[in-house]
Amino acid sequence: MKWLITGAAGMVGSDLRDALTMRGEDVVALTKSDLDITDSRRVNAMIGEEKPSVVVNCAGYTRVDEAESNEGLANAINGSSVELLAQAAKGVGALLVHISSDFVFDGRKHSPYEINDITAALSAYGRSKLLGEIAATHAERHVILRTSWLFGHNGPNFVDAIRKQIHKGTNPLRVVNDQRGRPTYTPHLAEAIIRIANLDAHGMIHYADEPECTWYDFACAIVEELGAEVTVKPVSTEDFPRPATRPAYSVLSTERYERLTGVRPESWREGLREYLSN
> What distance separates the 2 farthest-apart alpha carbons in the chain?
56
CA–CA distances in Å: residue 56 to residues 95, 100, 119, 178, 202: 8, 12, 23, 33, 13
Q: Which of 61, 113, 125, 257 is catalytic?
A: 125
CB 186 within 8 A of CB 152: yes
Give the chain as a 3 state SS string: CEEEEECCCCHHHHHHHHHHHHCCCEEEEECCCCCCCCCHHHHHHHHHHHCCCEEEECCCCCCCCHHHCCHHHHHHHHHHHHHHHHHHHHHHCCEEEEEEEHHHCCCCCCCCECCCCCCCCCCHHHHHHHHHHHHHCCCCEEEEEEECCEECCCCCCHHHHHHHHHHHCCCCEEEECCCEECCEEHHHHHHHHHHHHHCCCCEEEECCCECCEEHHHHHHHHHHHHCCCCCEEEECHHHCCCCCCCCCECCECCHHHHHHHCCCCCEHHHHHHHHHHC
125 is catalytic: yes
Cβ(113)–Cβ(72) below 8 Å: no
Q: What are residue 181's DSSP bridge partners?
A: 213
d(CA 51, CA 65): 36
Instruction: Give the residue numbers marked as catalytic.
Output: 125
